[in-house]
Structure 1
């Protein structure tokens, strides 16, 4: 994996957690708006919207650079629209990048799968 691909995956990993947290906070704010006088939905909606747009941009960049299959790319996109999906996306991306680092080191050291 080259440095630009690793950076694209790292950006996607970094944005997935804040995006997931903002989605959950937006849901809480929506419930509070309907049950109390507390109305933070406009602010939280904007924050979540910005983070979601960043997630989609970083997702598209990572998909372009990593050459994921359409199914894997769709999986990461679907995780972005689920309330807790960002947590799972971050974990999956971390495992994928760790595996690619191990594979790159093995290739560099000349280790061949037996």
Structure 2
């Protein structure tokens, strides 16, 4: 009995190419989103220390640090938005995600997938 040759695997559909300047801005944004996400969770923990245990110093120390981190997040989000030509609504969604605990992690995944698929945010 003759054995039929197996067909060669078909190549996956080519993914859209992301311009290098967008790719580098995306990498910077992803780091910022991760750092701000963890920083916001830490800020929530310091608020628990302040209100539950009277440790005011925790928020006094971490609050300004988180503020600086968030400003960096905003600047890097604007950089990516400018280079990838986001809509105003997309920019607002990403900026709001930076102030709601855990949402920056969700927004980072959404932005990453959308940029790589070349979908407009």
Distance apart, 1:46 and its partner CA: 2.0
Aligned residue in 1 for 2:44: 27
Which runs of at least 4 in structure 1 moved beyond 6 Å after TM superposition? none
Distance 1:69 1:35 in 2: 41
Aligned residue in 1 for 2:12: none
Aligned residue in 2 for 1:78: 96
**Gapped regions of structure 2 (runs ≥ 5):** 1-17
Could you tell me which of 60, 72, 75 is aligned with 2:78? 60
Q: Greater Rg, structure 1 or structure 2?
A: 2
Aligned residue in 2 for 1:4: 21
RMSD: 1.5
- 2:51 is the alignment partner of 1:14: no
Equivalent residue pairs, number: 100
**Gapped regions of structure 1 (runs ≥ 5):** 101-114
SS at match of 2:117: helix
Distance 2:77 2:35 in 1: 14
Which has a greater percent of helix? 1
TM normalised by structure 1 equals 0.78
Distance apart, 1:43 and its partner CA: 1.7
Distance 1:87 1:71 in 2: 18
